[in-house]
Structure 1
Amino acid sequence: MKIQENVYTIGNLEAEQSILGAILLDKTCIEHIETLTGNDFSKEYHKIIFESMTDLNKKNKPIDLITLTSELKSKGLLDDVGGVSYITSLSTIVPTTSSVKHYVDIVKSLSNKRKIVKASYSLIENIRSGKDIDSSRVIFEKDSQIDSKTDNEADSIVEVLAELFDDMQERPEEKIKTGISIIDKCTNGLGKHELITIGAGSGVGKSAIALKIAINAYFANKKVLIFSREMSKKQIAKRILLSQTGISKKQFENREFTNYDWERTYETIKRFSERNMILDDKSSTIQMFKSKMRREKPDLVIVDYTQLVTPSNTKESRERQVAEISRELQQMARDFDTTIIQLSQLAEKGSGNFRPTGESYTRESRAIYHDSHIVIYIHRVTEEKELEKAYKSIPAFHERGSFEDIKATIETRANSGIRFVEINVDKNRDGEPGSNFYWFKGSDLDYYSII
């Protein structure tokens, strides 16, 4: 292919020959060019020679005309590199071994250029062949990435500990506080690179808790991106507006506003005037999410909810589809240096409304639980045994009356839109789990402590 031939002409023959010749004249040269790999050479026969030299060095054997010829012959590659005559000529080309690092810089620089050019051609071919732009761009970014480390270089523990030591002397990471006491107590806030799952049944408040966290993050000067597959962006904005102004749903629908309501509305719009909360109800696939995240560079991403995201492979089983989506979200949190919250419906467990815990409650795939750094379940407490347990553990309930009195209070409040729920931090990879009971008022998007 002509394009590929043009790519391979990006190289410096003399610099490559000088590196190989320097190693033949002085084996110790190979110890000082550890950033170089065989793939950095533009000529395949130079790559073969260099890798054979590396193999000899690993075996603690000398690198000279005899040993290198023997090594290549044993691999059946001697003729491929031009035979003994070409290897002999290498040692006569190099002007001085002291300049080997200069030659390495030349070869490495041209290698990086070839890498970018090859990736660019691949990007063009992928788009021509019908692949979507976002997935093609992801491949391009991966293939063209220039790393200061070699392909086979790894970090030793002492290097990683040294990085940690440097981190310890800097300011601590500014985590995202949720505004919900039990979550902030257990997690100390939500950190970068973390995938957090919030699971609940329908109408229990998983979208509400996500919006509350989003609002808290926004007012903490974080950029928030909300992907909603359940509500339109207008519905999300309406819930936020009503929660911030105190305007009731009935008032809004009937357009019955007081002067105070208008004042609060104007004030709320002013408070949200910064372009730091982005609502997206159109993106439906992981690739579309990535594209939007690449443009917006958010600190916090909310996906409402995982089971409504369109899978990339519709022929796979539903369990594998959801698992793939969850794994992609986990990787995206790391790749985009952000925090991702995925909302998830809970699996039905027969009759009753029992407290969810463990991996089996994540609907359609247990991978959701395993992929997450933190799993938070929101549970509406209605079962008799659970109510008794809650009554015994909450001092404020004791002060207000008997168990039957509290049951009546819970029922009365439920009729007015205030539900008795438990928020359970069921999994916390870097901290302790924990739970607490709250009054949940959907119109306020808030969870109130029981006092």
Structure 2
Amino acid sequence: MPKVSLPSNVEAERSVLGAMLLSANACNIAIASLTEDSFSDVDPRNKIIFHAMENLSQHEQIIDPQTVTNELINTSLLSAAGDSSYLLELMNSVINPENVEHYVGIVKDQQVLREFLLELQDIQKDYAEGKISDIGDFLANSQQTLTAITNRRSVGGFRKGGEIAKEVKLKIIAEAKRSNRSLTGVDTGFRG
């Protein structure tokens, strides 16, 4: 079987890490959605830095350039992570940390695609090595595994109910003003 180059998007990985260094909200989003394995092996520095950020988060520490640098020093991984200059490069590459969800989605999709392709290689290998005793079981197990991988693909993010409620309220008010009508209905006493 020919060796296939596995998919990755190193720029999206860098954007996620840079946004995490600049924004606590970006940290929360990325850490809730990604793992160290979400980062490809193309630039191992990214995995090392994300792992340091995960450690800080697990210990309820602030994630910023200084704390990440300290964590990398404490684990003797600063030079493997590209030194402080790489952290600065990550921060400078971010246009807007609020776009982190978009980049997290890209990184996650690349991870799912890598896992899918690796599983396909394993399926081919099992076939080539004659590890199939029952074709029905083999196909069912293969399909189940591939389906489980594809179900991990991010198709939309979770949002806070309060954010959605505010958006809906603003749209209703804007529509009422645009159509020159007042809102009708029964007053519930809700003042949002």
Q: Normalized against structure 1, the TM-score is what?
A: 0.30
Residue number among 11, 19, 22 corresponding to 2:8 in the alignment: 11
Bigger proportion of residues as strand: 1
Partner SS state of residue 47, structure 1: helix
The letter for the 2-side match of 1:107 is V
Q: Distance in 2 between matches of 1:79 and 1:129?
A: 42
Would you say 1:42 and 2:37 are equivalent positions?
A: no
Percentage identity across aligned positions? Answer: 31
8 Å contact from structure 1 (residues 23, 63) kept in 2: yes
Q: Distance in 2 between matches of 1:2 and 1:81?
A: 31
Q: Aligned-pair distance for 1:141?
A: 3.7
What whole-Å deviation, never above 9, does each CA across 1:265-300 have from its counterpart, x for those lacking one?
xxxxxxxxxxxxxxxxxxxxxxxxxxxxxxxxxxxx
Matched positions, count: 147
What whole-Å deviation, never above 9, does each CA across 1:358-386 have from its counterpart, x for those lacking one?
xxxxxxxxxxxxxxxxxxxxxxxxxxxxx
8 Å contact from structure 1 (residues 120, 140) kept in 2: no
Shift in CA distance, 113/22, structure 1 to aligned 2, threshold 3 Å: same
8 Å contact from structure 1 (residues 116, 144) kept in 2: no
Q: 2:95 maps to which residue? A: 95
Partner SS state of residue 113, structure 1: helix
Shift in CA distance, 65/110, structure 1 to aligned 2, threshold 3 Å: same
Q: Aligned-pair distance for 1:11?
A: 1.2
8 Å contact from structure 1 (residues 119, 140) kept in 2: no
Q: How do residues 36-435 of structure 1 correspond to structure 2 at under 5 angstroms? A: 36-43=34-41, 44-132=44-132, 134=135, 137=139, 138=141, 141-142=144-145, 145-146=148-149, 147-148=151-152
The letter for the 2-side match of 1:129 is E
8 Å contact from structure 1 (residues 18, 100) kept in 2: yes
The letter for the 2-side match of 1:105 is G
Would you say 1:25 and 2:22 are equivalent positions?
A: yes
Q: Normalized against structure 2, the TM-score is what?
A: 0.67
The letter for the 1-side match of 2:55 is D
Q: Which moved more, 1:53-62 or 1:16-25?
A: 53-62
Q: Distance in 2 between matches of 1:115 and 1:20?
A: 21
Q: Distance in 2 between matches of 1:103 and 1:129?
A: 39
Q: Distance in 1 between matches of 2:153 and 2:128?
A: 33
8 Å contact from structure 1 (residues 21, 93) kept in 2: yes
Shift in CA distance, 144/86, structure 1 to aligned 2, threshold 3 Å: farther
Bigger proportion of residues as helix: 2
What whole-Å deviation, never above 9, does each CA across 1:378-399 have from its counterpart, x for those lacking one?
xxxxxxxxxxxxxxxxxxxxxx
Q: Distance in 2 between matches of 1:70 and 1:36?
A: 22
8 Å contact from structure 2 (residues 15, 100) kept in 1: yes
Instruction: Return the index of the structure with the highest Cα Rg.
Output: 1
The letter for the 1-side match of 2:95 is P
What whole-Å deviation, never above 9, does each CA across 1:203-240 have from its counterpart, x for those lacking one?
xxxxxxxxxxxxxxxxxxxxxxxxxxxxxxxxxxxxxx
Unaligned segments of structure 2, at least 5 residues = 155-192
